[in-house]
Amino acid sequence: MRKTFIAGNWKMNLTKQQATELGASIADAVSQTNDIDIAICPSFGYLDSVGTALGESTVKLGAQTLNANDAGAFTGEISGPMLCDLGCSVVILGHSERRELFAETDQLVNEKVKAALTHGLHVILCVGETLEQRESGQTNDIVGGQLVGSLANITTQQMASITIAYEPIWAIGTGKVATPQQAEQIHAHIRGLLVNHFGDSVAQATRIQYGGSVKPDNAQELLAQPNIDGALVGGASLDCESFMQIIRHG
Ligand code: 13P
């Protein structure tokens, strides 16, 4: 049985005070919940203060990307060891905004995945197609290519530290959510690819989150699908009550 995993991707939002207060409120609200894994991913600058606000909470602290190098002349970047130093245990990699706006290729995402695993970080690996790709019937191929490319040379043992997030690009920040059936179909396809590459037991143990306009009013039906094991939530994770309502559906 896969444990539901709900993560909030705060992207480049909030002030330090808002981020710290939101972290504290979420920690407070989930203090009794242990049957779901929860992570919040603030921007780099707030990791330290949000981590402090989380205190001893079971809510995990995550980052939104990393540089595959440990240290050196990489202006503006942050490394795996730095994220660990800041208290992170999770990192989102291969988000479509990173792929599209910062030209991240599957090969680069793969290097980042390996670096994150080396430092003991749990990876949320994002994959997803554009509207154009969906409309031309390429969804399975695009998502499959991203998955296989980003997971090149990853071992079956390492897969225990990886969660996949299926995020159709056309559903991100648009209010246009994939129907539970559309999402379930791709999640089942992803699980099939995991069976081919890593075997049945890894595929059955790997969690696949859905992301893209997840809100309190659509979370229940999405999370009820057999192959949807959690959610990667953007906008709705910026408000404690709406994030908590999604968690309660998990
Ligand atoms: P929204 O929930 O705002 O659509 O964002 C989804 C997302 O990109 C999470 O990583």
pLDDT digits (tens, 9 = 90+) for 220-235: 999 999 999 999 999 9
Please give the share of the chain, as a percent, with pLDDT higher than 90: 94
Q: 230: alpha, beta or left, given left = phi > 0 and alpha = psi -120 to 50? A: left
pTM for the full predicted model:
0.98
Q: Which pLDDT belongs to residue 78? A: 98
CA nearest to 146, candidates 164, 134, 132, 161: 164
Q: Measure the CA–CA gap between 28 and 151, rounded to whole angstroms.
A: 36
Q: Which pLDDT belongs to residue 32? A: 65
Q: Which pLDDT belongs to residue 176? A: 86
Of 182 and 31, which is predicted with more confidence? 182
Q: Supply the residue whose CA is at minimum distance from atom 5 of ligand 1.
A: 234
Sign of the CA dihedral with 18 first, then 23, 28, and 29 last: positive
Q: Which pLDDT belongs to residue 73? A: 98
Give 230 Cα–ligand 1 centroid separation in angstroms: 13
Neighbour-count burial of 192, counting CB atoms closer than 10 A to its CB (0-12 exposed, 13-18 middle, 19+ buried) = middle
Q: Give the chain's mean pLDDT.
A: 97
Kindly indicate the confidence band of residue 1, based on its pLDDT and cuts at 50, 70 and 90. Answer: confident
Ligand 1 proximal residues by C-beta, below 6 Å: 9, 95, 167, 172-173, 211-214, 232-236
Backbone angles phi, psi at 75, to 5 degrees: -50, 130
Q: Supply the residue whose CA is at minimum distance from atom 9 of ligand 1.
A: 234
Q: Supply the residue whose CA is at minimum distance from atom 7 of ligand 1.
A: 234
Q: Measure the CA–CA gap between 190 and 205, rounded to whole angstroms.
A: 13
Contact 10, 41 (CB under 8 A): yes
- Residue 34 reports pLDDT greater than 80: no
Q: Which pLDDT belongs to residue 33? A: 61
Q: Kindly give the pairing relationship between strand 37-41 and strand 90-93.
A: unpaired
Give 3 Cα–ligand 1 centroid separation in angstroms: 21
Q: Supply the residue whose CA is at minimum distance from atom 2 of ligand 1.
A: 234
State the amino acid at position 12 in one-letter form: M
| Catalytically annotated residues | 95, 167
Contact 174, 218 (CB under 8 A): no
Q: Measure the CA–CA gap between 105 and 191, rounded to whole angstroms.
A: 22
- Residue 218 reports pLDDT greater than 80: yes
Q: For 149-208, what is the HEC assignment?
A: HHCCCCCCCHHHHEEEEECCHHHCCCCCCCCHHHHHHHHHHHHHHHHHHHCHHHHHHCCE
Tens-digit pLDDT profile for residues 115-126: 999 999 999 999
Give 212 Cα–ligand 1 centroid separation in angstroms: 5
Which atom belonging to ligand 1 lies closest to the Cα atom of 171?
4
Q: Measure the CA–CA gap between 79 and 16, rounded to whole angstroms.
A: 21
Q: Which pLDDT belongs to residue 2? A: 97
Q: Which pLDDT belongs to residue 234? A: 98
Q: How many CB atoms lie within 10 A of CB 225?
A: 17
Q: Which pLDDT belongs to residue 3? A: 97
Mean pLDDT of 157-168: 98
Kindly indicate the confidence band of residue 177, based on its pLDDT and cuts at 50, 70 and 90. Answer: confident
Pocket mutation for ligand 1, best pick of 97, 101, 232 (most atoms within 8 Å of C-beta): 232
Q: Measure the CA–CA gap between 228 and 249, rounded to whole angstroms.
A: 12
Q: Could you tell me the domains of the chain? A: 5-249 (3.20.20.70)
Residues in CB range of 84: below 8 A, 6 or more apart: 119, 120, 121
Which atom belonging to ligand 1 lies closest to the Cα atom of 11?
10
Give 107 Cα–ligand 1 centroid separation in angstroms: 23
